Structure 1
Amino acid sequence: MTEDVTDYRVQAEGVEKAFGENKVLKGVSFSVARGTATTIIGPSGSGKTTLLRALAALDVPDAGVIRVGDQEIDFAKPVAKDKLRAYRAQSGFVFQGHNLFPHKTVLENITEGPVIVQKRPKAEAEADALALLEQVGLAAKRDQYPFELSGGQQQRVGIARALALKPKVVLFDEPTSALDPELVGEVLSVIRDLAVEGWTLVIVTHEIQFAKQVSDQVLFTDQGIILEQGPPAAVIGDPQEERTQQFLNRILNPL
């Protein structure tokens, strides 16, 4: 992959992924600059979540070169387990459905990765976790279990858990789609703050107004390709592709 003078936290070239006969990603290429927020929008089945999971190698791509942080992999070639492990450690993933350990407290959920995976001292991991809980407004919930929290609170714990790994990029898979409408705002507010603080974010979302407000870059995906990309004023405010126009009109002007 050709290096660029800009400090990119993510660079993807020609990423492909199929599930059986269904080719979900068809040669996707894009870059994410350090300290910026990129949102991925598009219709259901367009490949948004698969692209995000491919960046984290949760779904290992069939082909393409991806660099995340200081780790680069050519997925068309066999990948050693230790190389894949180092690559995955570059990103933190916030799942759509929280994915918290139900038998662990909020504090234990956040410190699990740093202590078990990264082998950091427990006291250091707990201090970082408490600071993150303060940041997401849940310091008082440290000893509670996931079932004692609202959906929005669980998602904020999920965000703190991803940040605790000190990743080079944080990946969000539709972080509000499983929430009741009244809880959406509290999660989007936390993500908005992270963008302001300079975290590098890639967010799959159906919240178009949020994407417009928080994004430095918007990718519109359709049928496994990036059909349109650029700043939100262009992609959302003045889309050039007919498919993008149709999608946004349906979302922003429902019957």
Structure 2
Amino acid sequence: MTEQASRAENRITVEDVHKSFGDNEVLRGISFEVAQGSATTVIGPSGSGKTTLLRALNALDVPDSGVIQIGDERIDFSKPVGKDQLRRYRAQSGMVFQAHNLFPHKTALENVTEGPLVVQKRPKDEVEAEAVELLSKVGLADKRDQYPYQLSGGQQQRVGIARALALKPKVVLFDEPTSALDPELVGEVLSVIRDLAVEGWTMVIVTHEIQFARQVSDQVLFTDHGVILEKGPPDEVIGDPKEERTRQFLQRILNPL
């Protein structure tokens, strides 16, 4: 089976997920599915639970209850979860963070190879060859020996994408991947994500780039106050939203003046 065919079998199922921080209930019964080889974007106002939802998918923020399944790994978070189970579950997804989170003392190539070498204990020659291919995929083949401080913010974020892909995850999770970038650098990162969507990667993308969400998504989730208020194809949720709250949000984003 080819790698791309294998990826097409991967999906995400989320059932009634709750997460609180102290008295603040951030996720209040979240349920949705991400189809095999599809892109789901999550939009909504600040404080609506978007990032917490994404971190819950990777169990960086462990849910208080609910069930999440990625590929063959399924966890019921209302029951005790063992460390080995959590490790296997987290290995199903690759995360791309807002602020790059690259190792400053490692080159672009070393940042990409770190996970496969240290976590997966894979052979160095094989890992480095794949890392070179991934840097080429994100347009940075000539930057392999440069350190993060020598790269633009957009280039650093593209290294972050290559790093996530190097772990060969079943799904890729993006937490507002362009929010920390200068406007002129946003396009180069969104272009890479578009290419991944065309290739059939299963992705969940938290974004404030509404037009990008409309172009790249198979499904859009609009969150507000810890619930999914509206979900469906982008032409419906963004083009013709049913909920007044969704319409108000999009009006402010798309017509700010």
- TM normalised by structure 2 equals 0.96
Q: Report the CA distance between 1:239 and its aligned residue.
A: 0.1
Q: Which amino acid aligns with 1:90?
A: Q
1:206 positional shift? 0.1
Distance in 1 (alpha carbons) for counterparts of 2:189 and 2:10: 26
Ranges in structure 2 where 5+ consecutive residues have no aligned partner? 1-7
4+ runs of 1 displaced by more than 4 Å? Answer: none
Aligned-pair identity in percent equals 79
Matched, 1:227 2:244: no
Give the Cα separation in 1 of the matches to 2:225 and 2:67.
20
How many Å separate the matches in 1 of 2:20 and 2:70? 21
Match of 2:11, SS state, is: strand
1:100 — aligned with what? 102
TM-score norm. by structure 1 comes to 0.97
Q: Which has the higher mean CA deviation after the structures are superposed, 172-181 or 116-125?
A: 116-125
| Counterpart for residue 153 of structure 1 | 155
Report whether the alignment pairs 1:58 with 2:64: no
Aligned to 1:113: 115
Question: Any idea what the Cα deviations from partners look like across 1:97-136, whole Å, max 9, x if unmatched?
Answer: 0000001111110001001101111111101100000000
1:125-164 matched pairs, under 5 angstroms: 125-164=127-166
Indicate the residue corresponding to 2:190 in structure 1. 188
CA distance in 2, matches of 1:253, 1:143: 43
**1:197 — aligned with what?**
199
- Measure how far apart 1:9 and its partner are: 1.1
Q: Distance in 2 between matches of 1:7 and 1:220?
A: 26
Question: Does 2:244 match 1:252?
Answer: no
In structure 1, runs of 5+ residues without a counterpart are 1-5
The offset of 1:70, in angstroms, is 1.3
Contact 1:42 1:48 in 2 (8 A): yes
Conservation of the 8 A alpha-carbon contact between 1:36 and 1:195: yes
Conservation of the 8 A alpha-carbon contact between 2:9 and 2:37? no
Residues 35-65 of structure 1 show CA distances to partners (whole Å, capped at 9, x for unaligned) of 1000000000000000000000000000000
- In 2, the alpha carbon distance for the partners of 1:240 and 1:8 equals 30
